[in-house]
Amino acid sequence: MGAEKGRLEVNGVSKSFRDSAYASTVLADLTLHADAGEFVSIVGPSGCGKSTLFHMIGGILAPDAGRIVLDGRDITGERGHISYMPQTNTLLPWRTVLDNVVLGIEVAGGMDKRKARELAGKWLGRVGLADYAESYPHVLSGGMQQRVAFIRALISPQSVLCLDEPFGALDALTREDMQRWLLRIWEENRRTVLFVTHSIEEALYLSDRIYVLGDKPTRVAEEIRVPFPRPRADGLYGDSAFVALRKRIYERMRKDG
């Protein structure tokens, strides 16, 4: 988990779908990057191809043009280089919470099973879910399930974490809790994070940098460096600089959407 590793580049990636209802969904010459240990958010209108971008980074979809580069190495079309957390609950219902947390390590391989379980147990304890280690996921609330899914992604050996609207299915209050929770853990355990979200506030609160995507074809409309120091304060939402930035991104999205 060295801090130097995990620089991810998306270089001039294009993708179009010809044979489906999404014929208009196009990524055109998209270039962006995340430095090692950097928290980068991608905001954009829904259906603008953010999930397509993630699928290409994950290597399960081939771009028409362009490359995905990790730490200087071309990984276009290769799988297994990222850890991932989607919006929907993807905890396996037949595995206990602990066994679910271990899954990412298990699939990646390379760590002794006992060691992996120890690590998972330690993390569950750290986030207050130790009592649920031997329970099945269906007893957890939606927020708790996403905490488990995040820990699963965090302790996986890959250097880049891709979070695809991880809090999108949660209610507003739980969502705010989760943002604070995620921020606290990430600030203590820096990893490269690529974070897709609809929420401008969420992106501003969490990220070092934000890419605002424009629609049809999808490209980077604006790149914003978030100036707030870390650790981020809870009251940031009311800060006048925060409000101004939010307005700027909002207007940019409206113009392009």
Partner 1 sequence: MPNMSGRKKTIWSWKGWPPVAAVVLFLAAWQGFVILFQVEKWLLPGPVDVFREAAGNWQRLWMHTKATLMICLPGFAASVAGAVGLALLMHRFETLKRAFAPLIVISQNVPTIILAPLLAAWFGYGLFPKLVVVFLVCFFPIAVSMLDGLKETDPAMKNYMRMIGASRRQLLFKLELPHALPFLFSGLKISATYSVLGAVIAEWVGSTKREGLMLFLNMTLSAFDLDRAMTAILMIVIVSLAFYGLIGLIEKLVIRWKPAREEKA
Binding site for partner 1 (CB under 8 A): 54-55, 58-60, 79-84, 86, 88, 90, 92-95, 103-104, 106-108, 136, 138, 156, 158, 162
Q: How far is the CB of 129 from partner 1 (least distance, A)?
A: 18
The SS3 of residue 228 is coil
Question: Which residues touch 102 (CB under 8 Å, ≥6 apart)?
Answer: 113, 116, 117, 120, 152
Give the integer Cα–Cα distance in Å for 192 and 5: 9
Q: Where are the beta strands (DSSP E) in the chain?
A: 8-16, 26-34, 39-43, 65-70, 73-74, 82-85, 160-164, 192-197, 209-214, 219-225
Q: How far is the CB of 42 from partner 1 (least distance, A)?
A: 16
Cβ at position 233, least distance to partner 1 in Å: 34
Residue with Cβ nearer partner 1 (140 or 224): 140
Beta carbon nearer to partner 1, 138 or 225: 138
To partner 1, the closest distance from the beta carbon of 108 in angstroms equals 7
Report whether 217 contacts 63 (CB < 8 A): no
Give how far Cα 240 sits from Cα of 209, 230, 232, Å. Answer: 18, 17, 15
Q: How far is the CB of 138 from partner 1 (least distance, A)?
A: 5
**Residue among 107 and 233 whose Cβ is closer to partner 1:** 107
Inter-CA distances, 97 with 50, 149, 178, Å: 29, 9, 18
CB of 32 vs partner 1, minimal distance in Å: 19
Residue among 15 and 252 whose Cβ is closer to partner 1: 15
Comparison of 32 and 103: residue with beta carbon closer to partner 1: 103
| Comparison of 83 and 179: residue with beta carbon closer to partner 1 | 83
Compute the distance between CA of residue 44 and CA of residue 32 in angstroms, rounded to an integer: 14
